[in-house]
Structure 1
Amino acid sequence: MKGDAKMSLKNKVEGTKDQVAGKAKEVEGKATGDKTREAQGKAQGILGKAKDKLEEAKDTVKETVDDLKKKIDKK
């Protein structure tokens, strides 16, 4: 696995982990009436989603650059 792909996968896993942990904290906060814990969970979940979107954008940019390099090399 290339270094970029390995880092991308690691970041995607971290994003998913944040979403799952955030949801657990949110549910815990709701169940116990702890509004602070619930808010922390929501924030962590949003952070996880943002990490996923960032990785998707990075992947798209990398693919576009790679495609452009191939086109230039053909000329």
Structure 2
Amino acid sequence: MGIGIGIVLLVLGLILVTGAVDLPASVDDAIAGDTLGWIFLIVGALAIVLALVINQQRSRSTSTYVEERRADPPLR
């Protein structure tokens, strides 16, 4: 999951929790919109945090490298 998916889940969760969109009656009977919204909020926040942590670790590991040069011994 990337940052984009985390943001999408976060926005969907906020929409469902605040009740900005009314779900159809058939969906509302099967699924509790508030509960689904809180689940989306938590999973979206975790996805954003995990994406940031993984990107931070990736940038640390690729920027550090060691270059070793060996000089040939002089010829006699």
The TM-score range, normalised by the shorter chain, is: 0.5 to 0.7
| Displacement over 4 Å in runs of 4+ | none
Q: Which has the higher helix share?
A: 1
* Residue matched to 2:11: 24
- 1:23-69 superposed Cα distances (whole Å, 9 cap, x missing partner): 212211211251222212321231122022112101101112x2x2x
Contact 2:6 2:47 in 1 (8 A): yes
The offset of 1:74, in angstroms, is 7.1
Contact 2:13 2:36 in 1 (8 A): no
Aligned-pair RMSD on alpha carbons? 2.4
Change (3 A) 1:45 1:73: farther
Percent of paired sites with the same residue:
7
Work out whether 1:56 is the aligned partner of 2:56: yes
- Quick one: distance in 1 between partners of 2:70 and 2:58? 25
Q: Aligned residues, how many?
A: 58
Unaligned runs of 5+ in 1: 1-13
* Residue matched to 1:10: none
What TM-score, normalized to structure 2? 0.56
- Quick one: distance in 2 between partners of 1:60 and 1:74? 27
What TM-score, normalized to structure 1? 0.57
